[in-house]
Homo-oligomer: A and B are copies of this chain.
Amino acid sequence: MGQRGNIMSFRPDIKVLDATLRDGGLVNSFQFSDEFVKDLYAANVKAGVDYMEFGYKADREMFDPDRFGKWKFCNDDDIYAIVGDNPTDMKIAVMADVGRTNYKRDIPEKANSPVDMYRIATYINTMPAAIEMVEYCHKQGYETTVNIMAISSAKERDIDTALYMLGESCVDGIYIVDSYGSIYPEEMREIADKYMELGEQYHKYIGVHSHNNQQLAFANTIEAISRGVSYADATVNSMGRGAGNCPLELLLGFLRNPKYNINSILQFIERHMLPLRATGVKWGYDIPYMLTGQLNRHPRSAIEYTAQGRTDYLDFYQSLMDRE
């Protein structure tokens, strides 16, 4: 593997996926107004975004629909109400978590659905279940990806095995996911090279999904791209769990494909993201997330800590050290 393209050129294989509703929904329990979702859809179309992820396909028997907004469940009818027949070049994606989706009941044939792509999120130990879901979604007519979460705490040998299993499967794309925001760019380049080697062998594209715990979400995304990774997740104003994700406005400003344009995203931030933040919904880089990122930990303790409004950073840091 080596560098692909350069800073002045563009690679037509690159696709941008807006994950604002899905990863962002994790910080406001998916309580987005219809106006927000409609305007985001319109802004993404104008910006040249390639895929918009609407949320999760969670099982209503596992999660209480009174506690979560509708994008936790992504009923096709709710998506139709936003996009109609989606007469645009932008495709619609939905995420399905292994073990949290009743996919045989809830995922109909593609011919009767506004969804174009199912992304299967899995930890490395549930790879067989993920592949079963991929095979099902593929048979139903959807594009598919598998997003292997938390690879920074997985053994390299297990990642190799998982990649081999995915290579042999019918999945279209495989995502590098830095769930803890702990990966440094020089590590990201090595990981991207590993995934790309498998991808070229098996004709799978590789994607990247990053978190901003160490202010590296954008840097890691463009590093992965420079090694040949072609699908990049981002969220408007970086809205996402904990420290948030790669900001869409930074990514679109970097990519040189003339189809991308940040105007509508700037307007969307002004009209929707600033008011949303003003209601008290919190995300983005902050010291507690930095600490869990540096220590390669799940951000849950930092999320709790931040929600409590605490700022005794040194105590929090020491408490993280105690957990070993």
A317 touches B266 (CB 8 A): yes
Chain A stretch 254-273: residues in CB contact (< 8 A) with chain B? 254, 262-263, 266-267, 269-270
Q: Determine whether the beta carbon of A313 is less than 8 Å from that of B184.
A: no
CB-CB < 8 A to A291: which residues of B?
253
- The interface residues of chain B lying within 8 Å CB-to-CB of A263 are 314, 317
From B270, B290, B314, A311 is in contact (CB under 8 Å) with B270
Chain B residues with CB below 8 A from A287, complex form: 249, 266, 269
A41 and B176 CA atoms in complex are apart in Å by 41
20 new A-B contacts at CB < 8 Å, known A266-B313, A270-B312: A3-B186, A7-B187, A185-B185, A185-B223, A186-B222, A214-B250, A215-B215, A215-B217, A215-B219, A215-B247, A215-B250, A218-B219, A249-B290, A250-B290, A253-B291, A253-B294, A266-B314, A269-B313, A270-B313, A270-B314
In the bound complex, what is the Cα–Cα distance between A6 and B184 (angstroms)?
Answer: 11
Is A253 within 8 A of B290, CB to CB?
A: yes
| A230 part of interface (Cβ distance < 8 Å) | no
Say yes or no: is A216 at the interface (Cβ < 8 Å to chain B).
yes
Give the complex CA separation of A6 and B187 in angstroms: 10
How many copies of this chain does one complex carry?
2
Determine which residue in A214, A217, A263, A314 has the highest number of CB atoms from chain B within 10 A of its CB, and name it: A314
On whether the beta carbons of B214 and A216 are closer than 8 Å, the reply is: no
Q: Across chains A and B, which 10 residue pairs bring their CB atoms closest together, nearest first?
A: A219-B219, A266-B313, A253-B294, A266-B314, A267-B314, A215-B218, A270-B313, A215-B215, A270-B311, A216-B219
Q: Is A212 an interface residue when CB atoms closer than 8 A count as contact?
A: yes
Chain B residues whose C-beta falls within 8 Å of the C-beta of A250 in the assembled complex:
214-215, 290, 294
* Selected A-B contacts with CB under 8 Å, 22 pairs: A3-B186, A7-B184, A7-B186, A185-B219, A186-B222, A214-B218, A214-B254, A215-B215, A215-B247, A218-B219, A247-B290, A250-B290, A250-B294, A253-B294, A263-B314, A266-B287, A266-B313, A266-B314, A266-B317, A269-B287, A270-B313, A274-B311
Tell me the complex Cα distance, A117–B278, Å.
45
Nearest residue in B to A187 (C-beta to C-beta)? B7
A226 at the interface (CB under 8 A from B): yes
Tally of A interface residues using CB under 8 Å: 39
Contact of A262 among B214, B267, B312, B317 (CB under 8 A): B317
Which residues in B have their C-beta under 8 angstroms from that of A317? 262-263, 266
- A219 contact set on B, CB distance < 8 A: 185, 215-216, 218-219
**When each residue 108-134 of chain A gets 1 if its CB lies under 8 Å from chain B and 0 otherwise, what string results?**
000000000000000000000000000
In whole angstroms, how far apart are the Cα atoms of A254 and B219 in the complex?
Answer: 15
Chain B proximity of A212: nearest CB distance (Å)? 7
Known A216-B219, A218-B215, A270-B313; judge A254-B184 contact (CB<8 A): yes
